[in-house]
Amino acid sequence: MKFRKKHNEQGEVFTDSLNDILFILLMFFLITTTMANPNVVKVGLPKGTKDTKAKQNIVVSIDKNQNYFLGQRMIDKNSVDSFLSAEIRKMRAVVDTPTVVINADTTAFYGEVFRIMRIAKRDTAKVVANVK
């Protein structure tokens, strides 16, 4: 007695929509990675344990050679105060409390980092130090 019948038909997998889904996922990841704000000035950042994200209104970077950058623009060490205060005043027209993000190399003089923090606090801006 033979109860089972042999089926010669093979199962078929429809992959028509798989290509569409993979394309949409690829586009999503390409768009989101280009929207990330890369560090303009390469600095060796100190390590941190707290994971908070801040909106980067104004970015001040100090590299290992003690060069100062406001955004992508290199500025003189002696004129950091006036440039930063002017940038904070300009951002205050758009944002209620601007955020100053400091990217400082681990070999940078931290007295200068604290000076930038004092300038930003004096002009009532929020200060964030960028760490890895």
C-alpha Rg value of the chain to the nearest Å: 26
Which pTM value belongs to this model?
0.58
Exposure string for 33-52, b = 16+ CB within 10 A, e = fewer: eeeeeeeebebeeeeeeeee
In a domain, residue 98? The reply is: yes
Residue 41 is assigned to a structural domain of this protein: no
Q: Is residue 47 a part of any domain in this protein?
A: no
pLDDT of residue 30: 83
| Coil vs helix vs strand at 69 | strand
Residues of the chain with pLDDT under 70: 1-9, 34-56, 131-132
Q: In this structure, is residue 18 part of a structural domain?
A: no
Tokens of 109: 């003089």
Q: 111: domain range?
A: 58-129
Question: Is residue 82 included in any domain, yes or no?
Answer: yes
pLDDT at residue 25 in the model: 92
Q: 6 lies in a domain?
A: no
CATH number of the domain enclosing 85 = 3.30.420.270
In a domain, 12, yes or no: no
Strand order in the sheet with 99-104: 73-75, 68-70, 58-62, 99-104, 126-129
